[in-house]
Structure 1
Amino acid sequence: MILACHNIEKSFGERVIVRAGSFHIEEREKAALVGINGAGKSTILKMIMNEESLDGGDIILAKGKTIGYLAQHQNMIPDGTIYDEVRSAKSDIIEMEQRIRSVELELKSLSGNELESRLETYNRLQSEFEARNGYACESEIVGVLKGLGFSEEDFSKKTDTLSGGQKTRVALGKLLLTNPDILLLDEPTNHLDLNSIAWLETYLINYPGAVFIVSHDRYFLNRVVTKVVEIENGEIRMYMGNYKAYSEKKQQLRDARLKEYYNQQREIKHQQAVIEKLKSFNREKSIRRAESREKMLEKITPVEKPVEINTEMHFTLEPSCVSGNDVLTVEHLAKQFDGQVLFSDVSFEIKRGEHVAIIGDNGTGKTTLLKILNQVQRADTGSFTLGAKVRIGYYDQEHHVLHDSKTIFEEISDDYPTLNNTQIRNTLAAFQFTGDEVFKEIRSLSGGEKGRVSLAKLMLSEANFLILDEPTNHLDIASKEILEEALNNYSGTVLYVSHDRYFINSTASRILELVNQTFVNYIGNYDYYLEKKEELTRAYAAGSGSISGSAGQTAGAPSISTAPDTSASAAAVQPGSKLSWQEQKEQQAKERKRKNDLKKTEEEISRIEDRNAQIDHEMTLEEVYSNSVKCQELAEEHAANEKRLEELYEMWETLAE
């Protein structure tokens, strides 16, 4: 056991965070801490790190073990670069290398005992340096930075110019390189793109120490953790398995507890009815029996009814009218910023009822595309057309559609003046805003609270085409599940950007991946995308083109339309494709050789078959069959041809495949 919490207590005023909570983490174990927003997850991590005091109980870290902590807010070295900040995690190894170099210089001028003494020091330093993998230090730093989505051009960026998300990635990289015995990670996947999250999953699964994670990313938790610690209503419970196993076990336990509660209540009511009936007989014997039953009832330990935590959103999405079948048509769209091309010559269609997810690395232009479709930004070239009766509802991850100076109540009442006071309050109550909370100013709200206000406006919009930018950001797992259910029951059309793989898997019927400045189309959910990604990327690398979401596509099949020109010049101009221009040339050369060999094989087969037919005819001629020498020659030639034909048929099959 590396970390143990025994009977920990914490309250803020009358609000209880945890009461008599106990859990432990074993060495090398990967565990998650889950709970709704505000349950106290970050507070527990801070108590473990002594950043928050305990009201009671004990937190014990095994003797000699080190602990590393990734908080949600980061402090960086002033005026340092990304590389400097992350490299500082290896400062002791870097200093050791400098000492080794210094001793090497000293050895040149020493002799005798002094030389022997310094050689001992040198050998000791060298051994320790090698044992700590010092020679791979720089490559390890570069590997972690690239794994977290930083390019080599980013390494020299100053940390004080970075966004909050970029700073979190830098801090995560620095923490991973310190290799503590236990990692405490508070929302480590926030601000990571899909490739970086996948890299982090693999890193943590293979991490030699223990990991304790707070995260709302269910796909990530399913892949990484083998134990779940839950905090709910001030109580802590432990479940073995990943998030899916925890969720199923929790529901089973709750159902069993509820059944036990109702069974006990039914038995109590039955006994009470029997007691009343016995007393109504008004006989000494029946009264004694009633009193006996009352004593038995008093001894029963009541089963508590499972608590329903009423902090969930309650909403549905319903369009006010049905749109035409053609909802969105995008043609030859292109956008660049400061000379950097985000996407070019993008064309696609979205039909009524489709749920389309846009995925891709950070900085590829996903959010920019949504802003163009909402006319927040202009495209450089190209156009898009909305279909008949299409009404857009837009969810902006930066919440620019909200007004900082307004209260929550005003945000709703100003946009929907036909709603009365009761209707507005009922709507906001469904999104967890009650009492005086509705008069909070937008500028004072957390990211999660702003998200709930934006979702409330989205529900009231009655739009039939929802365009959503990272709708699950800042939502806890319960709220995500409610949003998933609302979208899956929504009869309109949805186009959204998300890095939440579980959410994509649950809600998308089609995926557009923004890669190499254009889109690749997958007809299916996220699991299907993973299955087909490599296959489709290979097909994509051989040509350029656009994608279509036409109704004629086969459900469940990948779709990619390529331009008719598949010549070497067409392939060569594909910017940033997975294969280099030289590799494409080599592939095309191999394909040309295969086709040429196939053609030659077919020609030789035809020639030999014709010759054998000719031999068969000649053997029927009197001047031939009467000449034994000639007959023997023709028979041998015919047999040799048959043997060669067998070889050619096998060769043809191989080439044709």
Structure 2
Amino acid sequence: MILSCQNISKSFGTETILKDVSFHLEEHDKAALIGVNGAGKSTLLRIITGALSPDSGEVTLTHGKTLGYLAQYQEMEGDETIYNEVKKARQYVLDMEQELRSMEEQMKNVTGSDYDRVMEKYTQLGHRFEMENGYAVESEITGVLKGLGFAEADFDRRLSTLSGGQKTRVVLGKLLLTKPDVLLLDEPTNHLDLTSIEWLETYLLNYAGTVLIVSHDRYFLNRIVNRVVEIENGSSMTFVGNYSAYSEKKAIVRKSQYNAWLKQQNEIKHQEAVITKLKQFNREKSIKRAESREKMLDKIDLIEKPAEVSADMRIELHPRTESGKDVLTVKGLTKAFPNLPLFTDQSFEIKRGERVAIIGNNGTGKSTILKILTGLLEPDAGTVTFGSKVHIGYYDQEQQLLDPSKTIFEQISDDYPTLSNTEIRNVLAAFLFTNDDVFKLIKSLSGGERGRVSLARLMLSEANFLILDEPTNHLDIISKEILEDALNEYTGTVLYVSHDRYFINQTATRIIDLNNRTLVNYIGNYDYYLEKKDELTAIYAATPAADSAETNQAGDTAGKLDWKAQKEEQARIRKIENEIKKIEKEIGELEDRNREIDEEFLKPETGTDLPKCQKLSKEQTSNNERLEELYEKWEEVSSQL
């Protein structure tokens, strides 16, 4: 055991955040700390680091072990460059190198015992330098910075010019290079694009120390963690396995807890009814028995009613009218900003009922495409055509469509003036705004609260084409799952930008990857995208630095294909792959049957049963003939790939 939390409790005023939270981590554990927004996850991390004192309980870190912490928000001042700031994490190794160079010069001028003394010290320091990977320290720093999404051109940028998200990435880079024994990360993927998140996953999977992660990124947690610590209603519960394993076990635990609570409630009601009846008899003996039962009830340890998913946010998305089959046609779309070309001559279509995710690295122009479609930006070239009866509902990740000077109630009332006060309150209650909460000013809301207001507006729009920009930002895991269910049941059409891979995997029927200023189409979810990414990127979005002239030529030719041709080609490939799987399945079944027949022939009783031998022989001959046909067909179909 490397880290232990025992009976941690913490309150702020009259509000209890944590009560008797206990868990422990072993060396090399990769654990997730999860819970709804406001559950106390960040509070617990701050208590573990010592930045906040618990009201009661104890945090124990194994003697001699180090702790590193990435907070969710970073304040970083100064005029240092990105590279020099991150380099500070390994400065002691660079200092060792300078000392080694100094000793080398010193050894040129000493002899005898002095030389032996310096040489011994040099050998010891050299060993330490090698153990710290000193000869590769510069490339290690560069690798971490690039992995976190900084280009070499960014290395000389001053900290004072960085955004909050960029500063967080700088701090994360320093922390990773420090290599503490226990790494505490609070929402480490918030400011990373897909490529950087995948890099961080690989880094943490190979990390030698213990890691505790607060994150709403379920795909990220699924790949990394082997233990989940859940904070719910202030209490903790530990589950072994990744997020999917936790989700399955939690459903069982929740049902068991609810059944136990329900059973106790029924027993209490039964006892109360008996007590009432006994008192009605109004006899000394019955009254004493009633009092005895009352004392027994007073001693019962009441089971707290478990939180139910149904008690959280409720989203129901229903289009008012059905759109035409062709929902959106984009042709020749081009957009660039000063010194930043985004994409040129790109085309795609969206049909009714599709749920399409646009993905790509930060800064490639994903949100720009959505803003062009909704009329918030003008393209440099190209046309955007919506089909018949298309009614758009837009979710803006920056919440610019909300008026900061209005209250939540006023925002909904002004947007939908036909709704009564009761109807508005009912809608807002479905998004967890009750009582006086509805009179909060938009400008005073947190990111998550603004997101819920925008989702409420989206639900009321009754649109048949939803355009969503990072809809899961600021949502906790339960709210994300509720939104996923709503989108999967929605009968309209959806186009969204997201970096939440689990959300994409659960909801997308098609993915458009904005890669190397080119839109590459994948007919499937995120798992299918990962499977085909390298292959289709090489064909449709090859970089100028492709490995061979042949690859370049293929990229140039395929780059001229419009979206429709890409879609047809991918559909053809998938059809061939499905046919191959079907053939291979039949081959496997026939070969298995032939082995069973061979085993049957070896049995003594079969050898004396002539009719059975003839029947088995005939079946095996027929199988062999069919296998020959299938082998030939497999070769023919495989060659089409």
Name the TM-score class by shorter chain: 0.7 to 0.9
Q: CA deviation at 1:409?
A: 2.4
Q: CA deviation at 1:43?
A: 0.6
Q: 2 CA distance for matches of 1:70 and 1:287?
A: 63
Q: CA deviation at 1:39?
A: 0.7
Q: How does 1:146-545 map to 2 (within 5 A)?
A: 146-266=146-266, 303-308=303-308, 312-540=312-540, 541=542, 542=554, 543-545=558-560
Structure 1 residues 257 and 327, CA gap change in structure 2 (3 angstroms): same
TM-score with structure 2 setting the length: 0.82
Structure 1 residues 5 and 378, CA gap change in structure 2 (3 angstroms): same
> Which residue in the other structure is 1:80 paired with?
80
Q: CA deviation at 1:492?
A: 1.1
Q: How does 1:614-633 map to 2 (within 5 A)?
A: none
Q: 1 CA distance for matches of 2:572 and 2:470?
A: 26
> Which residue in the other structure is 1:597 paired with?
none
CA deviations on 1:408-457 (whole Å, 9 max, x unpaired) are 22222222222233322222222222233223222222211111111111
Asked whether the equivalents of residues 523 and 557 of structure 1 are also in contact (C-alpha less than 8 Å), the reply is: no
SS in 1 for 2:329: strand
Q: CA deviation at 1:357?
A: 0.3
Q: 1 CA distance for matches of 2:564 and 2:288?
A: 79
Deviates more, 1:295-304 or 1:536-545: 295-304
CA deviations on 1:13-63 (whole Å, 9 max, x unpaired) are 111011111111111101111110011100110111111121111111110
> Which residue in the other structure is 1:36 paired with?
36
Q: 2 CA distance for matches of 1:214 and 1:331?
A: 42
SS in 2 for 1:514: strand
Structure 1 residues 261 and 348, CA gap change in structure 2 (3 angstroms): same
SS in 2 for 1:208: coil
Q: 2 CA distance for matches of 1:537 and 1:438?
A: 48
SS in 2 for 1:73: coil
Aligned residue identity for 1:45: L
Q: 1 CA distance for matches of 2:287 and 2:473?
A: 64
Deviates more, 1:64-73 or 1:373-382: 373-382
Q: CA deviation at 1:162?
A: 1.7
Asked whether the equivalents of residues 547 and 559 of structure 1 are also in contact (C-alpha less than 8 Å), the reply is: no
SS in 1 for 2:559: coil
Give identity over the alignment, percent. 63
> Which residue in the other structure is 1:13 paired with?
13
Q: CA deviation at 1:336?
A: 1.6
Q: 2 CA distance for matches of 1:475 and 1:48?
A: 25
Structure 1 residues 416 and 101, CA gap change in structure 2 (3 angstroms): same
Q: 2 CA distance for matches of 1:155 and 1:246?
A: 40
CA deviations on 1:252-299 (whole Å, 9 max, x unpaired) are 012122223334444565677778889999999999999998898787
Asked whether the equivalents of residues 521 and 566 of structure 2 are also in contact (C-alpha less than 8 Å), the reply is: no
Q: 1 CA distance for matches of 2:140 and 2:229?
A: 32
Deviates more, 1:419-428 or 1:459-468: 419-428
Q: 2 CA distance for matches of 1:197 and 1:552?
A: 28
CA deviations on 1:333-387 (whole Å, 9 max, x unpaired) are 1112223321111111001111000011111111111111111111111111111
Asked whether the equivalents of residues 8 and 20 of structure 1 are also in contact (C-alpha less than 8 Å), the reply is: yes
Deviates more, 1:83-92 or 1:286-295: 286-295
SS in 1 for 2:334: strand
Aligned residue identity for 2:400: H
Q: 2 CA distance for matches of 1:170 and 1:556?
A: 43
Structure 1 residues 553 and 229, CA gap change in structure 2 (3 angstroms): same
Structure 1 residues 303 and 473, CA gap change in structure 2 (3 angstroms): closer
Asked whether the equivalents of residues 522 and 570 of structure 2 are also in contact (C-alpha less than 8 Å), the reply is: no
Asked whether the equivalents of residues 521 and 567 of structure 2 are also in contact (C-alpha less than 8 Å), the reply is: no
Q: 2 CA distance for matches of 1:551 and 1:80?
A: 47
Aligned residue identity for 1:192: L
Q: CA deviation at 1:406?
A: 2.5
SS in 2 for 1:156: coil
Q: 2 CA distance for matches of 1:293 and 1:656?
A: 80
Q: CA deviation at 1:403?
A: 2.2
Q: 1 CA distance for matches of 2:278 and 2:571?
A: 68
List gaps (5 residues or longer) in structure 2.
543-553, 576-635
SS in 1 for 2:102: helix
Q: CA deviation at 1:208?
A: 0.5
Aligned residue identity for 2:460: L
List gaps (5 residues or longer) in structure 1.
561-651
Q: CA deviation at 1:547?
A: 4.6
Aligned residue identity for 1:444: S
Q: CA deviation at 1:146?
A: 1.6
Structure 1 residues 405 and 264, CA gap change in structure 2 (3 angstroms): closer
Structure 1 residues 76 and 279, CA gap change in structure 2 (3 angstroms): closer
Q: 1 CA distance for matches of 2:388 and 2:340?
A: 35
> Which residue in the other structure is 2:627 paired with?
none
Deviates more, 1:528-537 or 1:7-16: 528-537
Deviates more, 1:254-263 or 1:443-452: 254-263
Aligned residue identity for 2:410: E
Structure 1 residues 653 and 309, CA gap change in structure 2 (3 angstroms): closer
Q: How does 1:117-128 map to 2 (within 5 A)?
A: 117-128=117-128
Q: CA deviation at 1:326?
A: 1.0
Larger radius of gyration: 1
CA deviations on 1:148-171 (whole Å, 9 max, x unpaired) are 122222222222212222222221
Structure 1 residues 247 and 552, CA gap change in structure 2 (3 angstroms): closer
SS in 1 for 2:76: coil
Deviates more, 1:289-298 or 1:473-482: 289-298
Structure 1 residues 294 and 551, CA gap change in structure 2 (3 angstroms): farther
Q: CA deviation at 1:213?
A: 0.4
Deviates more, 1:299-308 or 1:473-482: 299-308
Deviates more, 1:393-402 or 1:203-212: 393-402
Q: CA deviation at 1:65?
A: 0.3
Q: 2 CA distance for matches of 1:653 and 1:549?
A: 24
Structure 1 residues 276 and 165, CA gap change in structure 2 (3 angstroms): closer
Structure 1 residues 96 and 77, CA gap change in structure 2 (3 angstroms): farther
Structure 1 residues 7 and 310, CA gap change in structure 2 (3 angstroms): farther
Asked whether the equivalents of residues 351 and 550 of structure 1 are also in contact (C-alpha less than 8 Å), the reply is: no
> Which residue in the other structure is 2:587 paired with?
none
Q: Does 1:136 align with 2:136?
A: yes
Aligned residue identity for 1:395: Y
Q: 2 CA distance for matches of 1:438 and 1:497?
A: 29
> Which residue in the other structure is 1:64 paired with?
64
SS in 1 for 2:207: coil
Deviates more, 1:300-309 or 1:372-381: 300-309
The alignment's C-alpha RMSD in Å is 3.1
Structure 1 residues 5 and 438, CA gap change in structure 2 (3 angstroms): same
Structure 1 residues 454 and 546, CA gap change in structure 2 (3 angstroms): farther
Q: 2 CA distance for matches of 1:413 and 1:270?
A: 47
Structure 1 residues 29 and 163, CA gap change in structure 2 (3 angstroms): same
How many residues are treated as equivalent by the alignment? Answer: 566
Asked whether the equivalents of residues 230 and 236 of structure 2 are also in contact (C-alpha less than 8 Å), the reply is: yes
Aligned residue identity for 1:232: E
Asked whether the equivalents of residues 326 and 351 of structure 1 are also in contact (C-alpha less than 8 Å), the reply is: yes
Aligned residue identity for 1:88: K
